[in-house]
Amino acid sequence: MTRTEIWLIRHGETDWNAEQRLQGWRDIPLNDVGKAQALSVQRYLEQQRIDFDAVLSSDLQRAIQTAQIAFEPYGYQVEQLSMLRERNYGIYEGQPWQQLIPLPGRQAPTINLRDPQTEIPEGESLPVFYQRIIRAFNQIAQDRPQQKLAVVAHGGVIDMVWRHIKNIDLTSQRPYKIMNASVNHFRITTQQWEEVAWAQTDHIEMANEGL
């Protein structure tokens, strides 16, 4: 049985994260907090001592910068893949995300980006985004059997992978927040996708204490 091990890492914080604005395909760089979080990933890697075969990244700079900072001591060439981008939110990018998704105790939004039926002008619906991400990781696993891979991507990407592993539909509420610079370990085998260690954040909390 072949398997591919993947450590899926969310990029560090950007100013738009801090302002709770939808980024999507907008190419926003890390802020100082995000750079410190990327360094916390570097410390996580030092502790884990994982011998990666490759480091992959979304081709958006917040992911690339996180990968470059985290893996700087190890000499990896970061491979950039557009198929690992965040969901394309089209005309809604730059807007406050809390006004565009349903939240407990708040009035339902006029536009609900979490509704699979919602079409996004100049962007991706939720099912289209989900299909893109699952195809991307299946392709990565097919191309790199028996490898250990670090993949730096986005919160939406992690959410889609989690739903696929857990067989959870696109509308169910996720019971945890996806933290910037969190690490999520899973494997893809010839039979299925399997969670190994999800939502690892101890390294981030230690980094935040030092800010």
Report d(CA 147, CA 149) in Å as an integer.
Answer: 6
The token duo for 15 is: 């100013």
Residue 38, CA distances (Å) to 9, 81, 127, 183 in order: 10, 19, 30, 11
Helix ranges (H only) for the chain are: 15-18, 32-48, 61-71, 126-143, 155-166, 202-209
Q: Which of 5, 11, 154, 203 is catalytic?
A: 11
Q: Which of 13, 72, 79, 86 is catalytic?
A: 86
- Residue 142 CB neighbours (<10 A): 12
Torsion over CA: 20, 6, 39, 202 (sign): positive
The token duo for 126 is: 């939720």
State yes or no: is 154 an active-site residue. Answer: no
Task: Specify the pairing of strand 54-58 against strand 148-153.
Answer: parallel
Q: Which residues are catalytic?
A: 11, 86
